[in-house]
Structure 1
């Protein structure tokens, strides 16, 4: 599961598609734009030529920042993507409140509060990535709950609401909700939750789960559950992990799923078994874990499965929604499933069979795991589509913008750890994992332009240090600040994990730390890369280094030739989809670490994003949804441009570098004084 905790780190000196196309008169009816997750809009009113004329249409606040205690807000991640359905923008807050807004003004139309508890610590923070819309075509035109909103909750409920009023659907479960039986006793109430929107098709609604990582071998199972979308009655359940001769849990589905209504298939991106970093009690490939799994949505019957990582001990689960597209392969059009991964690969699979469209090779990978480990000797490597991000790291990749001691410290940290490249096993020595467990690509997933046949994805370039801690030492282990610690109960090792940082809190990997990548799938070619984000809202004094920020969120693309994305600084950005040039920045109240969306309302195209910050990313926290549209007559464009290419930008960048260099020198001097006193 995603862990961007202590990512920041960034500056820790606090640092032609087969899925239904979008209608030109509307915008965004599913979390991924359409049920197949293409995140593409046919709208083209906003273009590269006029994007600079965008103004802020509205800024809506949920009120959580005022009504919730600060210690609770510090455990939130505002990752929601609104839907545009039933003439409303509908989204969920981190506390599973469902809110409907007027699409033009942002005025609140209705609000539903499930009143979840907030006096505990959910394993994955308080988070709700979105809700799901379903239209019951068997219900009378004006019937209550003909149009429904489904949501899974942090306290493990599936809720159905009338999409026009927010009133719970009385005929669904118990007065509008189904309480899900986890199947075993939890260690604490937050060990198990639902964080991503359900999938729905053919009258069936499907939910996954998010489970606390690295707690224990005998962890909750990653069962996927399906219910009748009208009554809430159970339809089927599917446990991805085969338990023949193994001891493990998880292989759950925490990321968004995709649906092919015509084929009657739901596509699951499954996770690793438990625990993440030692698998001695789960020998073999752990079938259906770390896989794209296609099920028949009406019955739960397995159609096919493709495994992207064998016997995962790196937390390289599949975090991204499978993208359903029709692509031109050179041998005619073909319906496919596109699956990006944390370790940077893109697997392109036939929609009906799950077989790779282009060859995937089993290649030998590093061996010599920890005591009791039984690693897979090979892993699958795609041969046609190149990796979206760098996959190996060395001392030459250590970041050194300032005094030499910083480069030396980062290089030493790289050198002191085991580092045999991709799939280096976790070790007691400490192992460099690159890309880190946050990606590559994460839950923001990929976007696909069906007209130009281009795939777009946000990526991160960060390294983790993974260390196994022998059981005898684990009981008294006190993790240093910035280290994630997991007991891995039932295994001979506990674990710690941390982003590899310099002495002054900079990520040790050379920037860019976050990029958007465009890929021509047919040609198997990277078309462009563009750095996304600055340190402006993370560094002291607002120093705006254009180094990019880690990107766990995704993008939205339009027929107008634009790509929109947020980052870990407080801007919504627009890029030219043809060449990756950054064209526009719109200021947000806090960082928008969520997937943006776009829609048409009363003849005007809007672009909206959830802007509430991210507690695992170390950003400021908020509670807003912000929308932009083109300026009307008499309005002044709200253009905020803080790129280093603006007039005077390079001067202020140079000043910023000197200021941070000075800070680094002062810290170095203090460290030297302390060390000298100790030697004396």
Structure 2
């Protein structure tokens, strides 16, 4: 590390630790800029194997709801540590405060969200926002507030100390969002990500069903007065001149720069996703990082990452606000990862790329009526976090000599010209898939090491446009995602390419954590995240990785933590990427972990509720870990990863037995066919 970078590191530590001794996780992304970095350093690579489960709490969501509603949940919340409580929301928008040391419930608020909404993006609430009214008396009710958007389109304000609704906010503590359009069904419009607050304005996005219709509800972002709930401004990301489209909404988490008075929006694709013939042009300000002046909702700048999107390559992740040493001095930047695996680094004041972004020619020749952009933006300095082309050599064949032809059959005949191959009626191979690359969990940035950490997913989507006359008569096959795209000349089907064995058709790893040196423009390390233990017969733990929509946490202690689609919280060495520890969870923790200090001990917490869209086991737990105290020993909840040359790996043995069994089955089938 150079002398200047060393001084910068000391400045960060001084600011975050010395000047802020009571640092706490008070924002969804750790801080208002979403760096997901904690200056806490009690847990290190040297003692992480001493972690034990401190406590576990069950929300009661699963038992208190109808089975049909409970099966449509995603527990994706990141708790906050505010007002001496650990506060989070459940998939049904109950807000709960726990004792940080014991996990005992302190209070609960239930907004009575109904079971029968059928929300487009499942029952989900990723978090709440915290705000303190500096003009109110210290002991005034609702001086400190929690704001939450709900699945049934409400913005709710609660006293952060008691959980009681703030009477002066809207009507009895809530504002109903004016959608200004009749919904096709209850749940077509919802709010899933946490609001943000800047300069006394609460900013709220929305999650809207993507492919139901062209004339979908508008993706308006709204700013409300944090004290009264009065609407201050509206911002529609789409410029509607000459186009017919619904939303380019902001469903992912947002970021705030309080000093600059800016809120940063990751906007989505226009509706519908896979046909844009009725919305010619680049579709400003869809698929963009948009910086708004938080007090009035006007645009400060906008940078588009995908022109005229017909691939559902919207921005799914919180823009990360960081101070970056780019080799020519430090500057404030916005770091935006994408589903394609790109990382755009933009100047925070102007929105201009810190390093060159090239407009490169991309595949053309779309369906009739479509007008594609001839080029797309490609970052040149920071490499893509995953490969962006799929070939027949990339098909996964887990057993040598055993050919499961189902993947070959599915992928044969599809158009596949690499990244940005347009949707077609013959079928298009889309890689990375629409849920690939980096998703809503976002990235973490270590300001001392100047390293970006992110989870990425790999899978193949098969996208096929269905002409309207056929679409109106068809019954979608089971297991196929069908988007009617009413009002467009084509409907769409989407299928994740999987073999008859239930395995993804692309080679593992299916989920990875990637560390990127932004200044040098290089990948530092990659580490596979997750195994098949909780999905395969006999608990076989093939280290193939799992899809990773959730994000990571990085600490000054030199560790990176993440959950996965299997039931473990994991710790990795921030410098090398070596997996060091696993903490067993009741069900998968498909949420972002967080950390805090309480009574002199550092805790790690993750919501463990599974993921209904991924078909995992579901639950309603919040689980905390800490270092063992005197006399405590790690239990089965916590285990150290075997080092090379360590003890016998029984999982590998069982995996070998399983593969031999598959090979034997293949030989038997061939002999039977010949007979």
Instruction: Report the TM-score, using the length of structure 2 for normalisation.
Output: 0.95
The match for 2:221 is 224
SS at match of 1:497: strand
Query: Deviation at 1:471?
Result: 1.0
Measure the CA separation in 2 of the matches of 1:119 and 1:82: 26
Match of 2:631 among 634, 640, 645: 634
Comparing 656-665 and 178-187, the one that deviates more? 656-665
Contact map agreement 1:26 1:601 (CA 8 A) in 2: no
Measure the CA separation in 2 of the matches of 1:513 and 1:37: 25
Measure the CA separation in 1 of the matches of 2:649 and 2:461: 32
Report the count of equivalent residues.
661
Query: Deviation at 1:412?
Result: 4.2
SS at match of 1:652: helix
Unaligned runs of 5+ in 2: 1-10
The match for 2:555 is 558
Query: Deviation at 1:312?
Result: 0.3
The match for 1:72 is 69
The match for 1:662 is 661
Q: For 1:472-621, list aligned pairs within 5 A.
A: 472-621=469-618
SS at match of 1:625: strand
Query: Deviation at 1:73?
Result: 1.1
After superposition, the C-alpha distances for 1:85-139 in whole angstroms (9 at most, x for unaligned) are 1111000000000000000000000000000111131000000000000011111
- Assess, with a 3 A threshold, how the Cα gap between structure 1 residues 394 and 643 changes in structure 2: closer, same or farther: farther
Measure the CA separation in 2 of the matches of 1:206 and 1:504: 45
After superposition, the C-alpha distances for 1:128-167 in whole angstroms (9 at most, x for unaligned) are 0000000111110010101100000000000000001000
The question of 1:269 aligning with 2:271 is answered no
SS at match of 2:652: helix
Match of 2:180 among 179, 183, 192: 183
Measure the CA separation in 1 of the matches of 2:331 and 2:583: 38
Contact map agreement 2:357 2:378 (CA 8 A) in 1: yes
Measure the CA separation in 2 of the matches of 1:672 and 1:614: 41
Q: For 1:172-211, list aligned pairs within 5 A.
A: 172-211=169-208
Query: Deviation at 1:619?
Result: 0.5
- Assess, with a 3 A threshold, how the Cα gap between structure 1 residues 603 and 264 changes in structure 2: closer, same or farther: same
Match of 1:233 among 210, 230, 234: 230
Measure the CA separation in 2 of the matches of 1:474 and 1:248: 20
Q: For 1:320-399, list aligned pairs within 5 A.
A: 320-399=317-396
SS at match of 1:473: helix
Measure the CA separation in 1 of the matches of 2:262 and 2:314: 21
- By relative contact order (CA 8 Å, sep 6+), the higher-ranking structure is 1
The match for 1:652 is 651
Measure the CA separation in 2 of the matches of 1:385 and 1:499: 28
Measure the CA separation in 2 of the matches of 1:298 and 1:130: 23
The question of 1:319 aligning with 2:316 is answered yes
Contact map agreement 1:135 1:147 (CA 8 A) in 2: yes
Query: Deviation at 1:402?
Result: 1.4
SS at match of 1:605: strand
Query: Deviation at 1:403?
Result: 5.2
Query: Deviation at 1:69?
Result: 2.5
Unaligned runs of 5+ in 1: 1-15
Contact map agreement 1:395 1:415 (CA 8 A) in 2: no
Query: Deviation at 1:415?
Result: 3.4
Measure the CA separation in 2 of the matches of 1:249 and 1:606: 44
- Assess, with a 3 A threshold, how the Cα gap between structure 1 residues 632 and 265 changes in structure 2: closer, same or farther: same
The match for 1:11 is none
After superposition, the C-alpha distances for 1:65-86 in whole angstroms (9 at most, x for unaligned) are 2222222111000000000111
Q: For 1:106-145, list aligned pairs within 5 A.
A: 106-145=103-142
